[in-house]
Amino acid sequence: MRSEHARQSHLETAYAYYSRFDNVFTGPGIVDAGMIRPLPRKQSIEELGENLLICPPGEMVDRLMPYVELGIDRMVLNINFGVSQEETLESIQCFAEEVIPQLR
């Protein structure tokens, strides 16, 4: 995530994803013509942004380091939340090359 514009775009994509996720997994499961209907969320997009690690590598390291210091050495990444395959693969590569080495 190299720019604030890209971060905001990915955050909006994630918010839309979780609007559909909430419908299926905690809501009524409404589907229109085969598509899961996004439902309004109680959590604002700003609050979601505080909870997700959609950020530059340096910020991600800063936000993950407290867990490393507690001895947590495994993480589950949900990188594919609706962005393109190319962006997903770039995120995986960035995490592997720029974040993980700093957490060791």
Asked if pLDDT for residue 10 goes beyond 70, the answer is yes
Confidence of residue 96 (pLDDT cuts 50, 70, 90): very high
Residue range 55-64, pLDDT digits in tens:
999 999 999 9
Complete DSSP assignment for 9-34: HHHHHHHHHHHHHHHHHTS---EETT
Confidence of residue 80 (pLDDT cuts 50, 70, 90): confident
Q: Which residues contact 56 (CB under 8 A, 6 or more apart)?
A: 1, 2, 7
Confidence of residue 104 (pLDDT cuts 50, 70, 90): confident
**Sign of the torsion angle spanned by Cα atoms 60, 16, 39, 75:** negative
Complete DSSP assignment for 70-94: TT---------SSS-HHHHHHHHHH
> Can you tell me whether residue 35 is helix, strand or coil?
strand
Six-digit token pair at 96? 């592997």
What span, in angstroms and rounded, lies between the C-alpha atoms of 27 and 93? Answer: 34
Asked if pLDDT for residue 1 goes beyond 70, the answer is no
Paired with 1 in beta bridges are: none
Instruction: Specify burial of residue 58 (Cβ count, 10 A radius: 0-12, 13-18, 19+).
Output: exposed
Residue range 18-76, pLDDT digits in tens:
999 999 999 999 999 999 999 999 999 999 999 999 999 999 999 999 999 999 989 89
